Amino acid sequence: MSERRYDLAVAGAGLNGALLALAAARNGLDTVVVDRQPLDAMTLPAFDGRTTAVAYTSQRLFEALGLWAGLEPDAEPIRDIRISDAGHDGRPSPLFLHFDHRENAPTPDEARPMGWIVENRFLRRALYAALAREPRASVLAPAELAGTTRDATRALLHLGDGRTLEARLVASAEGRSGALREEAGIGARSWSYRQTAIVLVAAHELPHRGVAQEKFLPGGPFAILPMRNGEDGTHRSSIVWSERTPLAERLLTLDAARFNSEFARRFGDYLGKVQPVGPRFAHPLGLVHAERYVDERLVLVGDAAHGIHPIAGQGYNLGVRDVAALVEVLVEAHRLGLDLGAADTLERYAAWRRTDNLAMVAATDLLNRLFSNDIAPVRLARDVGIAAVHRIPPLRRFFMRHAMGLVGDLPKLTRGVAL
Amino acid sequence: MVHNASATTVDPAEVERFGRIADEWWDLRGKFAPLHRLGPVRVGYVRDHAARHFGRDPLGADPLAGLSVLDVGCGGGLMCEPMARLGGAVTGIDASARNVAVAGLHARGQGLAIDYRSGEAESMAAAGAQFDIVLALEIVEHVADVDLFLRSVGQVVRPGGIVFVSTLNRTAKAWALAVAGAEYVLRWLPRGTHDWRRFLKPSELSRGLRAGGIEVRGLTGIVYHPLSRRWSLNADDLDVNYILHGVRTA
């Protein structure tokens, strides 16, 4: 049987699971995190070539956990965001929307970036190093989680090698295809956008000066996100290039020269000569939202609860807010000596997060539907909308606060307040 | 436990009434749901004042470590379990043997070592037992002899120890909310749970405790917010539920 009883067992040591385990352990909960992959394999560039947009509120949580100092050298600040609409020819519409980070600050000196672009492997490296140093956190990886038994008194986690762990609460941070969500019989509303995101790194002649570009092309959004310069000093941006899936599949089979020219045509020439470097990754795009976030002694966090379209760069940041809210609720219950897995504790987390997540799920879905088409009246309406937002400063600031994550009932850790 | 039949404050009808619903103590949606919702507020008050009284950090790890705790009228153990998780060495007593059995079963499932006994404050006092922290929450309105009960509660507090008592105020508002509202209109509590005539004004409670050597140090109201369905402390509203703490000086 089990040797010890953990307060919290986290299934999945991805960006969300590792963050949850670290934040919980740091705040006094005995935590174990289980993943089928060894952690060091997950920090290799080939394992996850993506970058993550870290919103201002998420950065404050990293700061609170003491991770930010180590991440900052590899994090490129997003100072401005420029949104434009473009037709088949890739030529931008004369109407555009520009968000300047200085606009939200009381004085120019206090201006904060709207977010940062960090390569996932650097986030993983920082999280895993901190976990290894955390006395209340245990890592079991590689280890297969075969299933759980959860009842009114405890949760048992059955591992593939026959071992059993005991915990008061299980958190699934397994991503969209969450096995524990299925085990619990929690349904999910999901649909495919029939789009695929091609993810790659591009080198360009001129510096990006911290400007993120979101170009709405008929096949889907094309995002150019400012990255730190490469080790050889090359100017780099991270690209999330969404296309309808059949076209994306054809593009991915093209030889380098033809692929590069398709890519450069969409990227444009505003940063001089441009060229993809390194491997291309393909991710089918879809939306998943779990019907409920909790079951007996089980909670869902991050993509296991809600996977959204990457159009607004908010997917991970929603997960970070899940983590911050869950840790706040659990630490409060722990300090009152309450049962961490009791239904009323979990219900508080679910009610808190559902509203925020639902708003983002709906907004990103609407944005994508609105922009991923080339119907003339829709295009005209959205161009006028974009230009209107651009010309009305309060509206512009409203959108910026959303992008920075500064909206809703923010958990303490994302406000920079200790628990 | 020796049952001291000569001097007891237990009202057999009350014991029977609670014993009948003992199996529902830990059902969050059952008859004791209001007590569960009250839990975090009561534990928070006890933790903060007890920890500070003994020079501990209320938010630190195991703030009650090394302290003995007695919960008089422990019911299903709704207070005993949090006290044990916060590090206290907890004894729970209840006049209903069925409550004690339910509480013991639940604590074992949670991996908690709590000493549950069938008994009452008077028998503990007669046996000479004393504790650092004594809880008598939502119980004084159910006993037959209030003065004897409060004197016994005082006796089981170690000199220098701290005691917590919560109950309902004898006001028209308390009758309207706690009896008419909670029992008859909202059906939160089984009808007959409370007898308004047994509710105590804070002054009466303080006087009764003083006779047992307890000096009251603080008093606050506990207020229900119907929209958020949550309870909170409010020092300015003692009209319905209130909780106080005192220290045994003599």
Q: Residue A374 in contact with residue A218, Cβ under 8 Å?
A: yes
Task: State ipTM.
Answer: 0.83
Chain B contacts of A337, Cβ < 8 Å? 43, 47, 81-86
Euclidean distance between CA atoms B150 and A244, whole angstroms: 76
Q: Please compute the mean of the pLDDT values over residues B216-244 and round it to a whole number.
A: 88
Q: A292 and chain B: CB distance < 8 Å anywhere?
A: no
Q: Residue A318 in contact with residue A411, Cβ under 8 Å?
A: no
Inspect the interface and report whether the beta carbons of A336 and B40 lie closer than 8 Å: yes
Return the higher-pLDDT residue of B114 and A95: B114
Cα nearest neighbour of B88 on chain A: A337
Local mean pLDDT, 10-residue blocks, chain A (419 residues): 80 96 97 94 78 90 94 93 70 67 70 88 95 97 96 93 96 91 92 87 95 85 91 92 94 94 92 91 86 96 85 80 96 95 91 83 70 65 64 64 68 82
Q: What is the DSSP string of A110-165?
A: G---SEEEEEHHHHHHHHHHHHHH-TTEEEE-S--EEEEEE-SS-EEEEETTS-EE
Inspect the interface and report whether the beta carbons of B82 and A336 lie closer than 8 Å: yes
Side chain identity at residue B62, one-letter code = D
**CA distances (Å), origin A130, targets A125, A136, A244, A301:** 9, 11, 40, 20
Ordered structural domains, chain B, with CATH: 12-248 (3.40.50.150)
A335: closest CA of chain B, how far (Å): 6
The domain limits of chain A are: 5-190+287-415
Look at the domain A5-190+287-415 and name its fold: FAD/NAD(P)-binding domain (3.50.50)
Q: A106 and chain B: CB distance < 8 Å anywhere?
A: no
Chain A contacts of B106, Cβ < 8 Å? 153
For the ranges A25-34, A257-266, B175-184, B193-202, the lowest mean pLDDT is seen at: B175-184
Q: A336 and chain B: CB distance < 8 Å anywhere?
A: yes
Return the higher-pLDDT residue of B178 and A165: A165
Chain A contacts of B83, Cβ < 8 Å? 337
If one counts every other C-beta atom within 10 angstroms of the C-beta of residue A45, the result is: 12
In the block, tokens 């639940």 appear at B106
Residues contacting A149, CB < 8 A, separation 6+: A155, A156, A158
Residues contacting A312, CB < 8 A, separation 6+: A360, A363, A364, A367, A403
Residues contacting A302, CB < 8 A, separation 6+: A14, A15, A16, A17, A173, A175, A316, A318, A319, A322, A323
Euclidean distance between CA atoms B239 and B250, whole angstroms: 30
- The whole-number pLDDT of residue B33 equals 77
Euclidean distance between CA atoms A156 and A270, whole angstroms: 56
- The whole-number pLDDT of residue B2 equals 38
Chain B contacts of A28, Cβ < 8 Å? 61
Chain A from 344 to 373: CB within 8 A of any B CB: 344
Q: Residue A152 in contact with residue B25, Cβ under 8 Å?
A: no
Q: A254 and chain B: CB distance < 8 Å anywhere?
A: no
pTM value > 0.80: yes
Q: Closest partner residue to B85 among A154, A332, A337, by Cβ?
A: A337
Helix/strand/coil (H/E/C) assignment for every residue in A189-223: EEEEEEEEEEEEEEEECCCCCCEEEEEEECCEEEE
